[in-house]
Homo-oligomer: A and B are copies of this chain.
Amino acid sequence: MALIVQKYGGTSMGNPERIKNVARRVLETQSAGHKVVTVVSAMSGVTDSLIKLARDVTAKPAGREMDMLLATGEQTSIALLAMALQNLGAKAVSLTGAQAGIVTDGVHTKAKIFNITPKQIHAHLDGGAIVIVAGFQGQTAAGEITTLGRGGSDLTAIALTAALKADKCEIYTDVDGVYTCDPRVVPDACKVDSICYEEMLEMASSGSKVMQSRSVEFANKFNVLFEVRSSFNHNQGTIVKTESPGMEDVVIRGVSIERNQAKVTLAGVPDQPGVAAKIFNALATDNVVVDVIVQTAPVDGRTDISFTTNKDELERADAALQVVAKNIGARGITQKAGVAKLSVVGIGMRSHSGVAAKLFDLLAAGGFNIQMISTSEIKIAVILDEDTIAEAAQAVHAGFGLAGDK
């Protein structure tokens, strides 16, 4: 008898029929002889409706009240799933984050889990019940309701897996697992059987929407093995785990693309210590999230600094930079939306040379102009015209031999 933690996202819980489907899957697992703890998200659309209600009442909702409001979404889901399971004759009990013993800090809307005291979960499991826990939420030691921010339900599942010392963690979603590239962009993309945390993190931060980086980091930290799989079929998913021997034999695990990027260049920036700090502090102060940063080698005591950001943040970035550009004596600011990022990811890169050269060759052969380059130990990212990004992804995916024989 294993203890299995399952997590079902908002799409899987999207309506009463889907909730019944989830109930059948959860019961199957218990009937196979396992103890089951199920973490669920709010029904898809519910969180957005709640946010809209809040916005209709105030432009700036306080974090504490936002958490009070949003926590109702998951609470609704757990009650409905418990009912659906009971309707199938199963013994099931729902627990809010607070009742499940999930204690967080007091940073509303993006709280961090302090610790989990799963006394009630254990008691209900020992009583033979399927335990359904509200994802995305917890409470402070003082009893205030908190939420964990984006990707919070995945985090709940992974943290519970660690706290309960569960044997397995299954993250159910609306895709079959992690693919070598988005199948809507590259039709012959393949599902990846297993991937290590570092690769998963790079994929996540490169636009692969399967999971938020934060949950993967947490899993990495506590060494929680988990499987990403679909709640709509019974296919094997992708195992996400610590690096194991042989994994490095695969040079490239996947190709990620991220659209809606914008490129900003400060030209003629004085080549002095502290200048870059001034620029990016100004952006950080105005909450502009910067992705790729590139600085050219200085010529005549001046350099160009470019960075990318989400297209939606371009206006804010520009406003912040107008002031700082004057202060530091830069010659000008240019900006360009309509770019996208293509990343190739793989821990195999560490022991294989020539991956970057091969990527640039493939792009050159296709006539794709590289506008910026950024590399990490296990990732190479390039900025391309957004118009050509799908075509480029197909060429790179094929060039690295990632295509399946589907």
Chain B residue contacts of A72, Cβ below 8 A: 72, 75-76, 79
Contact partner, A62, options B61, B62, B69, B83, Cβ 8 Å: B83
Q: Is the beta-carbon distance between A76 and B84 smaller than 8 angstroms?
A: no
Name the interface residues of A39-96: CB closer than 8 Å to any CB of B. Answer: 50, 53-54, 56-62, 64-66, 68-69, 71-72, 75-76, 78-80, 82-84, 86-87, 93-94, 96
Name the interface residues of A191-249: CB closer than 8 Å to any CB of B. Answer: none
The size bracket of the interface on A is 35 or more
Q: Is the beta-carbon distance between B54 and A83 smaller than 8 angstroms?
A: yes
Q: Which residue of B lies closest to A142 (CB)?
A: B120
Q: Is the beta-carbon distance between A65 and B94 smaller than 8 angstroms?
A: yes
Contact partner, A83, options B57, B76, B78, Cβ 8 Å: B57
Q: Which residue of B lies closest to A145 (CB)?
A: B96
This chain: how many copies in the complex? 2
Q: How far is the CB of A55 from chain B (nearest CB, A)?
A: 9
* In the complex, A118 has a CB within 8 A of chain B: no
Alpha-carbon gap, A274 to B63, bound state (A)? 63
Q: Which residue of B lies closest to A87 (CB)?
A: B58
Chain B residue contacts of A87, Cβ below 8 A: 57-60
Alpha-carbon gap, A80 to B64, bound state (A)? 11
Chain B residue contacts of A332, Cβ below 8 A: none
Q: Is the beta-carbon distance between B69 and A143 smaller than 8 angstroms?
A: no
Q: Is the beta-carbon distance between A69 and B65 smaller than 8 angstroms?
A: no
Q: Is the beta-carbon distance between A68 and B78 smaller than 8 angstroms?
A: yes
Chain B residue contacts of A83, Cβ below 8 A: 54, 57-58, 61-62, 65-66, 69
Chain B residue contacts of A96, Cβ below 8 A: 68, 145
A interface residues, Cβ below 8 angstroms from B: 16, 19-20, 50, 53-54, 56-62, 64-66, 68-69, 71-72, 75-76, 78-80, 82-84, 86-87, 93-94, 96, 99, 143, 145
